[in-house]
Structure 1
Amino acid sequence: MSQTRVMAVASAGGHWVQLLRLRPAWKGMDVTYVSTDPGLNAMLAEKCGPENGWRFFAVVEANRWTKLRLVRQLFQLLRIVLKTRPDVIVTTGAAPGYFAIRIGKLLGTRTIWVDSIANAEELSLSGEQVGHHADLWLTQWSHLARPDGPDYRGSVI
Structure 2
Amino acid sequence: MQVKGGNNEMKICFVTSSGGHLTHLIQLKEWWKDKERFWVTFDKEDSRSILNGERKYWCYFPTNRNIKNLIKNTFLSIKVLIKEKPDLIISTGAAPAIPFFYIGKLLGAKVVYIEVYDRIDKPTITGKIVHPISDLFILQWEEQKKFYSKGQVLGGIF
- Structure 1 unmatched ranges of 5 or more: none
Cα separation, 2, equivalents of 1:86 and 1:38: 24
Cα separation, 1, equivalents of 2:109 and 2:120: 29
Listed one character per residue, the Cα deviations across residues 75-133 of structure 1 (whole Å, up to 9, x for unaligned) are: 11221111111010100001111221111111110110001112121121110111121
- Structure 2 unmatched ranges of 5 or more: none
Give the root-mean-square deviation of aligned CA atoms. Answer: 1.8
Q: Which residue of 2 aligns with 1:11?
A: 17
User: Normalising to structure 2: TM-score of the pair?
Assistant: 0.86
Percent sequence identity over matched residues? Answer: 25
1:22 correspondence with 2:28:
yes
Amino acid at match of 1:156: I
How many correspondences in the alignment?
150
2:37 to 31, 40, 45: 31
The answer as to whether partners of 2:18 and 2:44 remain within 8 angstroms in 1 is no
1:44 correspondence with 2:51:
yes
Amino acid at match of 1:24: E
Cα separation, 2, equivalents of 1:37 and 1:90: 19
User: Normalising to structure 1: TM-score of the pair?
Assistant: 0.86
Cα separation, 1, equivalents of 2:78 and 2:116: 23
Cα separation, 1, equivalents of 2:31 and 2:122: 26
Residue 73 of structure 1 deviates from its aligned partner by 1.2
The answer as to whether partners of 2:15 and 2:96 remain within 8 angstroms in 1 is yes
Amino acid at match of 1:97: A
The answer as to whether partners of 1:140 and 1:152 remain within 8 angstroms in 2 is yes
Amino acid at match of 1:14: G
